């Protein structure tokens, strides 16, 4: 599929994509950016309203079936013009901009799901994106974030999630933390906190309850004492001597494989 050809990087129709490295420093932007064919495909199949798509001819052609039914402009650029617009060398060849939707109420997700991942202070965008990709892979119903977590719709998080952030429901637990975890327990959700502490139950011995939430903390510090105290059970992944922990997304994937297997 060919779009409207643009050769001037200063064209105002490209403003949503301009200088993305600078835009990344403005958290909570009203515009969500997706990069790459697979990510744009998932965006187009989601509830997010696409504002525009830009790309080189070959990538737009690969997206032709998706773009044919899209009610948004499509702009064709060569790779040099595209890089001039976004402010860095674009290797994936296509980007889409979408409106950020209104936030989802955490209670609506809690009342309709059975499998949750709860994140505390996850501020690494790539870890955050990887967690969402894992949640999609293992059929998690929703991700709940404490108020200090990074934005799941930040460009790098979206990219690392492979666009699965558009399909996995998420919300911020905006009550005082960690008291907000009581909302899950009151709904009959059992809270399973991941920790390397020796007193925790080995993952293989955990019997998944009908409704559960896996609690994951930031790289390094892990879950806070308050979050651990609020949990119903501590869970650990047994490891070889000399290895104290795994990357948070990796640990989460191991735990989810057990809980959903």
What are the pLDDT digits (tens) for 170-202?
A: 999 988 999 999 999 999 999 999 999 999 999
Q: Are residues 162 and 83 in the same domain?
A: no
Q: What angle is formed at CA 18 by the lines to CA 13 and CA 23, rounded to 5 degrees?
A: 135
Looking at the fold, whether 15 and 129 belong to one and the same domain comes out as no
Same domain? 159 vs 241: yes
Q: Cα separations (Å) of 103 from 82, 100, 175, 254? A: 31, 9, 15, 29
Confidence of residue 23 (pLDDT cuts 50, 70, 90): low
Number of structural domains the chain divides into: 2
- Least confident segment among 63-67, 78-82, 89-93, 209-213: 89-93
Residue 25 has pLDDT above 90, yes or no: no
pLDDT digits (tens, 9 = 90+) for 43-86: 999 999 999 999 999 999 999 999 998 999 999 999 999 999 99
The two structure tokens encoding residue 5: 């050809």
In the chain, the N- to C-terminal Cα span, in Å, equals: 41
Q: What is the pTM of this model?
A: 0.93
Residue 163, sorted as left (phi over 0), alpha (psi -120 to 50) or beta, turns out to be: left
- What average pLDDT score do residues 102-114 get? 96
pLDDT of residue 85: 96
Residue 26 pLDDT class (50, 70, 90 cuts): low
**66 and 143 share one domain:** no
239 and 130 part of one domain: yes
pLDDT at 24 (0 to 100): 57
Minimum mean pLDDT range among 3-7, 29-33, 116-120, 195-199: 29-33
Domain range enclosing 57: 4-99
Q: Which of 71, 99, 127 is the last residue of a domain?
A: 99
On whether both 60 and 139 belong to a single domain, the answer is: no
CATH number of the domain to which 155 belongs: 3.40.1280.10
Q: Are residue 89 and residue 119 in the same domain, yes or no? A: no
Residue 79 is part of a domain; what is its CATH number? 3.30.1330.30
Q: Do 79 and 124 have their domain in common? A: no
Residues 88 and 114 reside in one and the same domain: no
Of the residues 44, 74, 99, the one at which a domain ends: 99
223 shares a domain with 182: yes
> Do 66 and 122 sit in the same domain of this protein?
no
Q: What is the pLDDT of residues 228-249, one digit of tens each?
A: 999 999 999 999 988 877 899 9
In this prediction, residue 29 has a pLDDT band, given cuts at 50, 70 and 90, of confident
Q: What is the mean pLDDT of the chain?
A: 94
Q: Which of 65, 82, 99 is the endpoint of a domain?
A: 99
């Amino acid at each position: 599929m060919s779009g409207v050809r643009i050769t001037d990087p200063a064209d105002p129709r490209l403003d949503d994509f301009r200088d993305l490295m600078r835009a990344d420093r403005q958290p909570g932007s009203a515009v969500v950016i997706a990069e790459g064919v697979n990510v744009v495909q998932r965006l187009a199949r989601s509830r997010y309203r696409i504002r525009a798509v830009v790309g080189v001819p070959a990538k737009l052609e690969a997206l032709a079936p998706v773009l044919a039914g899209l009610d948004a402009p499509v702009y064709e650029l060569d790779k040099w013009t595209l890089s001039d617009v976004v402010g860095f060398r674009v290797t994936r060849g296509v980007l889409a901009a979408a409106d950020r939707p209104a936030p989802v109420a955490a209670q609506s997700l809690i009342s309709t799901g059975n499998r949750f991942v709860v994140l505390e202070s996850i501020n690494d965008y790539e870890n955050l994106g990887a967690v969402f990709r894992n949640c999609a892979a293992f059929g998690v119903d929703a991700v709940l974030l404490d108020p200090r977590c990074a934005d799941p719709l930040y460009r790098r998080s979206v990219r690392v999630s492979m666009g699965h952030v558009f399909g996995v429901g998420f919300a911020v637990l905006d009550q005082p933390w960690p008291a907000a975890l009581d909302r899950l327990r009151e709904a009959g959700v059992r809270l399973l906190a991941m920790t390397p502490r020796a007193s925790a139950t080995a993952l293989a011995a955990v019997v998944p309850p009908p409704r559960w939430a896996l609690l994951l903390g930031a790289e390094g510090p892990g879950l806070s004492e308050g979050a651990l105290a609020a949990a119903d059970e501590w869970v650990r992944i047994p490891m070889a001597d000399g290895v104290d922990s795994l990357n948070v997304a990796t640990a989460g994937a191991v735990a989810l494989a057990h809980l959903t297997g």
